[in-house]
Structure 1
Amino acid sequence: MARTGRPKAVLELTADEREQLQRWARRATSAQALAMRSRIVLACAQGRSNTAVADDLGVSPQTVGKWRARFVQARLDGLADDPRPGRPSSITAEQVEDVVVATLESTPANATHWSRAKMAERTGLSRSSIGRIWKTFELKPHRAETFKLSNDPLFVEKVFDVVGLYLNPPEGAVVLSVDEKSQVQALARSQPTFPMMPGMPERATHDYVRHGTTSLFAAFNTADGTVISSLHRRHRTIEFKKFLTKIDATVPAHLQVHLIADNYGTHKTPAIKTWLARHPRFTLHHTPTYSSWLNQVERWFAYLTEDLLQRGDHRSVHALEADIRTWVKAWNDNPRPFIWTKTAEDILERLGRLLRRINGAGH
């Protein structure tokens, strides 16, 4: 006789439970964990097997079995996360849902975002309870990040072009992510910095004296992480052309050179176009407008800033440039390429979801 496995727990829904689960599952701004658990229970209530539900929703059969059993045992309250050891929680699933929905879909009176104190006052829960709920569902109303959507009419084509170079670089070629970190300031603190001590962090004055600026030109090799760099006191077409000449002298002559750059004006001047025409092994690829995140050298600039510039103390441009050269040399002694995993389709799909959320928020 064929084995059928352990029989599944019978799962039947009341009308009220079905309505509640459907609300949790279809609300676009619901916490994703609760929405997924609701979809699992709704699918199981159709009499389907754990394996079929798992295949349909993209989760493991064990996950389906877990939430099926939890719901059968505790109904809607069973879809909450496991309680921690200690005193049993007195917060119901309805209260958790109320906090999550209010955080995502409303703002307090006379304020732009929720604080723990304001949400505690609204719900009657403690501030620590509000904090735990927000942490569980990864909600951070105190934080906001800026963005700007590209208005480039060739956005899709450029994304496919640049991402294609990252994921499938041409044979017999080097791919270089190129940009300039302009106006890097030589800053000296107005008073000496107190060094770190046990129980006390390093302390530095908030004010400083400016001692001039320099501009760092960098070409990040996306294959091996090495960097070709140059420092110039000015940031014009002539300096960019000098940097291209240095790249030409550094990259072996038998290799084609694909440069990924943003839309800054110095990258598109007639002089640069003439130089590129005279060096046919070079191909310049532009990222879409307002899409610096697509250029890998920007991440490398972030490492430089975190390691050296953010807390540096330089009393001359010469000293600043010497430290930058030393840092770049140390990087090239142990280079680290960045592993690009997102396909162009992944990026465009995510952007599409963002646009739908923005458009939905405007109605």
Structure 2
Amino acid sequence: MPVAPARPITLTASERKRLKTMAYGHKTEHRLRQRAQVVLHAARGRPNARIARESGLHLDTVRTWRGRFAEHRLPALSDRKRSGRPASFTPLQTAQVKALACQLPAESGTPLSRWSAPELAREVVGRAIAGAISASTVRRWLKQDALKPWQYRSWIFITDPAFRSRAERVLDLYARIWNGEALGADEYVISADEKTSIQARCRCHPALAPGQARAMRVNHTYGRGGALAYLAAYDVHHAKIFGRCEPRTGIAPFMALVDQVMTQEPYASAKRVFWVVDNGSSHRGKKAADRLTLAYPNAVLVHTPVHASWLNQVEIYFSVVQRKVVTPNDFTDLNEVADRLRAFEDRYNATAQPFQWKFTTSDLDDLLARLDRHTADHPEESSAAPAT
């Protein structure tokens, strides 16, 4: 039976360049490299039998790729689309599952606070969206649209009508500005607050030190030794902490902290000392400001906006205390808690540097603008009751 003659191959300059890249590139798939080499050999006028012998391919394989290139050029060297296994689910079912994940379970009467992949799979079957479906399939579909209904973040409305002006005053103080004027060398900014209910939990068995491939082990059961409050004042620009432990919070413990700071130099003879505080009950409102000024005429109380304690830098220090001193909690009594906190203050003050505060008034304006746009896009949320 006569054999069809080999198809002649003539390459353009761009085709030759692309084929050489495919044939000799380090990242080219092996099958594409072989096909490109077949075409390059064919372009040099070599017969199919010789190409098959030199490349180690079957003669029919060489003839196939030479013919495909002659008819459809470079795109023909890629694999043709294959039908594959029929899809188990329709696009409509996929969309219905994603839509279900975007609903709160309570909206459909399901007694869950949030969806998980297994619960969604069970709900899909219960609603007859699909006869059967696995949790891994649901998770894979949700991953395509970055949907994770099992995660959540809390949020809160801005309820303080003077939010921007109050926040701006605090941020200006961090930048050493007050009422548009730079602070002098004899003016200081103190950030103060209370960390409540630090418990003394005496573990029933001593903690085990970490070992090779083993984390530190802390016994789960403990005896309660009471709780105390830790009050701290942080010099924002000089990174110095003044702390004290009290049985509870209140006006008297807070004023004791003020006395502890304001009777020391350089604060006692300073021109002004600004105290940045949140709206806690021990230092809330104009009465607290008047009480502070009456006790120390050079002290100025500055409140953060309502629900904006994150603007108070001493909260960063409290987070350090929580990570490095309080957790894991293993103290025999409250005296040991107080001693540990005082010792940590000394250790911290020996090496502390001011926090690299980067949130400025420009960032504040950007934040408020984003909130305004969100409120405009979702007017139903702006009329909802404020979160508390």
Taking the aligned partners of 1:214 and 1:102, their CA distance within structure 2 comes to: 47
Q: Which amino acid aligns with 1:315?
A: T
Taking the aligned partners of 2:349 and 2:95, their CA distance within structure 1 comes to: 51
CA-to-partner distance for each residue in 1:258-307, whole Å, 9 max, x for gaps?
Answer: 11101222214857623413533221111222222222212221221122
Aligned to 1:43: none
* Shift in CA distance, 257/307, structure 1 to aligned 2, threshold 3 Å: same
* Shift in CA distance, 266/149, structure 1 to aligned 2, threshold 3 Å: same
Aligned to 1:257: 273
Aligned to 2:308: 291
Q: Which runs of 5+ in 2 are unaligned?
A: 1-86
Q: Which amino acid aligns with 2:372?
A: G
Aligned to 2:259: 245
CA-to-partner distance for each residue in 1:108-140, whole Å, 9 max, x for gaps?
Answer: 762332212234563877544544565565543
Q: Which amino acid aligns with 1:164?
A: D
Farther off after superposition, 318-327 or 279-288:
279-288
**1:216, 1:232 within 8 Å by CA — same for their partners in 2?**
yes
Root-mean-square deviation over aligned CA pairs: 3.6
Q: Which runs of 5+ in 1 are unaligned?
A: 1-89
2:114 is equivalent to residue 113 of structure 1: yes
2:156 is equivalent to residue 140 of structure 1: no
Aligned to 1:326: 343
Taking the aligned partners of 1:93 and 1:299, their CA distance within structure 2 comes to: 48
1:321 CA displacement: 0.9
1:352 CA displacement: 3.4
* Shift in CA distance, 132/161, structure 1 to aligned 2, threshold 3 Å: farther
Aligned to 2:102: 104
**2:274, 2:301 within 8 Å by CA — same for their partners in 1?**
yes
How do 1:15-94 residues align onto structure 2 when only pairs under 5 Å count? none
* Shift in CA distance, 272/218, structure 1 to aligned 2, threshold 3 Å: same
Q: Which amino acid aligns with 2:205?
A: Q
Identity %: 23
2:172 is equivalent to residue 154 of structure 1: no
1:361 CA displacement: 9.8
Aligned to 1:345: 365
* Shift in CA distance, 228/255, structure 1 to aligned 2, threshold 3 Å: farther
Query: How high is the TM-score relative to the length of structure 2?
Result: 0.59
Taking the aligned partners of 2:349 and 2:114, their CA distance within structure 1 comes to: 45
Aligned to 1:193: 207
Farther off after superposition, 262-271 or 290-299:
262-271
CA-to-partner distance for each residue in 1:207-258, whole Å, 9 max, x for gaps?
Answer: 3222233222112233343322222334232222221122221444345221
2:234 is equivalent to residue 233 of structure 1: no
**1:176, 1:221 within 8 Å by CA — same for their partners in 2?**
yes
Larger Rg: 2
Task: Count how many residue pairs are aligned between Structure 1 and Structure 2.
Answer: 276
Residue aligned with 2:206, SS: coil
1:323 CA displacement: 0.8
Taking the aligned partners of 2:141 and 2:251, their CA distance within structure 1 comes to: 53
Taking the aligned partners of 1:232 and 1:332, their CA distance within structure 2 comes to: 21
Taking the aligned partners of 1:176 and 1:182, their CA distance within structure 2 comes to: 19
Residue aligned with 2:254, SS: helix
Aligned to 2:327: 310
Aligned to 2:27: none
CA-to-partner distance for each residue in 1:31-84, whole Å, 9 max, x for gaps?
Answer: xxxxxxxxxxxxxxxxxxxxxxxxxxxxxxxxxxxxxxxxxxxxxxxxxxxxxx
